[in-house]
Amino acid sequence: MKIKRCKIISIFIVRDPWRATLFFYLMILAACAPVGPDFQPPKLHAPASWQSKQAGGLSVAPLAPDSLARWWTNFNDPILSGLIERAVAGNLDLQLARARLHESRARLGLTRADEFPTLSTSGSAIRSGSDSQTRNLFALGFDAGWELDIFGGLSRSREAAQADLAAGREDLRDVLVSLLGEVAINYLETRTYQARLAAADENLKIQEDTLQLADWRYQAGLSDELAVQQARYNLASTRAQLPTLRVGLVASLNRLAVLTGDDLGRLRELLKDPAPIPVPPVTVTVGVPAETLRQRPDLRRAEQQLAAATARVGVAESDLYPKFRLSGSIGIESVDSADILSAASRTWRFGPSLSWPLFDGGKVRRNIEVQSSQQEQKLLQYRSVVLAALAEVENALTSYVEELRRQQALIVGAKAARAAAGLAQNKYQAGLQDFSTVLDAQRSQFSFEDQLARSQGMVSSDLVRLYKALGGGWQLLAAESPDSIPEIKE
């Protein structure tokens, strides 16, 4: 990487040496450019189109900003929207990300402060002496200093801090994207568990009626005890699945409570009544890969981290060159408090200073190698994020489309299984069919209905993961101050 160096200039010697010194430093300051590499955003290598098939209502039309920014409204579920609003207001991880952003802003202020002159004041009243003589010394003064950023070490530090601040802003947005997705997924899991419990309860009632029928036929001598025991263990098998489903339901509610920062009791009260699993919209636009990558805050964060690492190479290289500083002071010193304001008590000093380490055992050059290596690591990390982002979207697209197909097959299978179970029950009651056929039909009915409920929840969850992979949701921060947590209003 090319290092920019100072231009050689000449100046005229003027009579006043102090003016000549100041003129000399100002000319050097104007003629020098910061050392170290200038940041160039890496080229974004993205395919022209997605590899996954655009089926199931997916469209590569340009992304609609409003739809992507508030993607959860596409499910038309007021409770989901309310949970999103609670999470944005109460999630602790989001508040932690905002606190980190505040820290980055404060660190930027520290680097900017180093570029300005410093001014300080001091005063003292000292009495000293021996057995034979006592002296007083009164002093009051003002000191000023200014490090001239001739080789750009301070400006590169500011660039690094600005990039860190931008990376912190993207980190906040990335946390928000993940939070919105997790809230929606856990809400969908809650509704899925409720649907599975409802299907289990419905099948329990059918199996209880079947047990009573088998027992009646056994008591009437129309059947043997085998059918009764088969009906009993089939019923027990279904009942044994209920505790597992209830545990899953409670776990999803607990995760929602953590994500929203809300009280679990109030959350359970809100979601106690089962409701249908939210249905995805008919059409979903996904855009093209390059457009998607620009939407993702994790990719922009990686780019800003690369920019910060590039600037720190310049900071390290500036240590190879001398540091110039202007300093001065004015004050008063007197041994008598009565003369402290007299002209004879006034003191002053002004002049430049230079420091340049001549030998440090190679410490500066090793630090340059360290910073250059970290820059290379950040570039590789950026490329890795690009590949991971493309893979995440491709996976989400495939999962959504294939789960839709699976759901359609399960709808057909569940309908046929219910019809077969009803027919088998009627034939068994009429004595035209043995009980094993009823047993198989009812097992199939429960299995299909349970799988269908899970698939309905999975389709919607896969769509949420797709919105998350597309980088949807962080746009809420765009209209707010850079580090604010917005209030979501529908």
Which of residues 248 and 58 earns the better pLDDT score? 248
Distance CA 39, CA 304 (A): 10
Per-residue pLDDT tens for 144-175? 777 777 887 888 889 999 999 999 999 999 99
Q: Given pLDDT bands bounded at 50, 70 and 90, which one contains residue 489?
A: very low
Asked if pLDDT for residue 187 goes beyond 90, the answer is yes
Distance CA 293, CA 470 (A): 8
Share of the chain above pLDDT 70, in %: 86
Asked if pLDDT for residue 33 goes beyond 60, the answer is yes
Asked if pLDDT for residue 29 goes beyond 90, the answer is no
Q: Given pLDDT bands bounded at 50, 70 and 90, which one contains residue 477?
A: low
pLDDT at 336: 64
Q: What domains can you pick out in the chain, each with its CATH number?
A: 34-125+139-477 (1.20.1600.10)
pLDDT at 7: 40
Average pLDDT over residues 370-392: 93
Q: Of 164, 166, 184, which Cα lies nearest the Cα of 176?
A: 184
Per-residue pLDDT tens for 406-451? 999 999 999 999 999 999 989 888 888 888 888 899 999 999 999 9
Q: What is the DSSP string of 373-442?
A: HHHHHHHHHHHHHHHHHHHHHHHHHHHHHHHHHHHHHHHHHHHHHHHHHHHHHHHHHTTSS-HHHHHHHH
Q: Of 299, 300, 304, 295, which Cα lies nearest the Cα of 466?
A: 295
Q: Of 426, 425, 451, 427, which Cα lies nearest the Cα of 439?
A: 425
pLDDT at 69: 84
Q: Strand 118-129 to strand 134-148: parallel, antiparallel, or no bridges (unpaired)?
A: antiparallel
pLDDT at 278: 93
Which of residues 66 and 317 earns the better pLDDT score? 317
Q: Given pLDDT bands bounded at 50, 70 and 90, which one contains residue 25?
A: low
Distance CA 35, CA 37 (A): 7
Structure token digits, residue 55: 């089926």
Distance CA 228, CA 211 (A): 6
Q: Given pLDDT bands bounded at 50, 70 and 90, which one contains residue 6?
A: very low
> What's the length of the chain?
490
Per-residue pLDDT tens for 39-77? 899 988 888 878 777 776 777 777 777 778 889 999 999
Structure token digits, residue 280: 């995805």
Which residue do the tokens 């009051």 mark? 140
Per-residue buried b or exposed e for 375-396, using 16+ beta carbons within 10 Å of the residue's own CB: beebbeebeebbeebbebbbeb
Q: Strand 134-148 to strand 323-334: parallel, antiparallel, or no bridges (unpaired)?
A: antiparallel
Structure token digits, residue 327: 């300093």
Range name among 26-35, 121-130, 199-208, 234-243 with the lowest pLDDT average: 26-35
Share of the chain above pLDDT 90, in %: 41
Asked if pLDDT for residue 334 goes beyond 80, the answer is no
Q: Of 326, 351, 350, which Cα lies nearest the Cα of 147?
A: 326
pLDDT at 364: 87
Task: Give kind and range of the element (H or E) at residue 323.
Answer: strand 323-334
Asked if pLDDT for residue 369 goes beyond 70, the answer is yes
Which of residues 356 and 131 earns the better pLDDT score? 356
- Structure letter (DSSP) for residue 38: P
- Read off φ and ψ for residue 158, nearest 5 degrees: -65, -40
Average pLDDT of the chain is 83
Distance between terminal CA atoms of the chain? 51
The pTM is what? Answer: 0.83
